[in-house]
């Protein structure tokens, strides 16, 4: 059975006015933006009747969770904990393809062990805001 195999890529998150964080992607999970809906069902509608859920035209931002191995190097952020809650530009790149989004780094976990690579997980929320 044929399938699609993920090949190594990198990502760079550059917070507004700050140094970039560059790392190698080992895993990526992306949640697309979702429609914001409102329940317009009358308060006296019986429980078994149809519910009136209506899209407002607004969207939530979507998100991405990235498992990474730190790339290191001069001029790059070493501890992603220092840029949590910052807004900036997030770019994923692999051979022949790249994606760029405005994002806020929501959380960062880092794992470091003697004789092992520095790795972790970052959670981003996509946004139109760059504050």
pTM (predicted TM-score): 0.75
Q: Which of 65, 75, 66 is nearest to 21 (CA)?
A: 75
Residue 7 has pLDDT above 90, yes or no: no
| 3 vs 120, higher pLDDT | 120
Which region holds residue 128: left if phi is over 0, alpha if psi is between -120 and 50, else beta?
alpha
- For 24-77, the pLDDT digits (tens) are 898 888 888 888 888 888 777 776 666 778 888 787 778 999 999 987 776 677
- For 79-102, the pLDDT digits (tens) are 899 999 999 999 998 887 888 999
Task: Please give the mean pLDDT across all residues of the chain.
Answer: 83
Rounded Cα distance between 21 and 118, Å, is 13
The pLDDT > 90 percentage for the chain reads: 30
**47 DSSP β-pair partners:** none
């Amino acid at each position: 059975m044929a399938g699609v195999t993920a090949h190594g890529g990198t990502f760079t998150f550059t917070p507004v006015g700050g140094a970039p964080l560059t790392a190698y992607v080992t895993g990526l999970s992306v949640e697309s933006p979702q429609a914001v809906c409102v329940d317009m069902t009358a308060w006296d509608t019986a429980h078994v009747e149809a519910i009136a859920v209506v899209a407002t035209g607004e969207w939530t931002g979507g998100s991405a969770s990235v498992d990474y191995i730190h790339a290191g190097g001069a001029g790059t952020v070493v501890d992603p904990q220092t840029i949590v809650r910052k807004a900036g530009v997030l770019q994923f790149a692999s051979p022949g393809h790249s994606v760029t989004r405005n994002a806020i780094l929501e959380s960062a976990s880092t794992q470091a062990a003697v004789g092992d690579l520095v790795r972790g997980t970052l959670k981003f929320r996509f946004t139109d805001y760059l504050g």
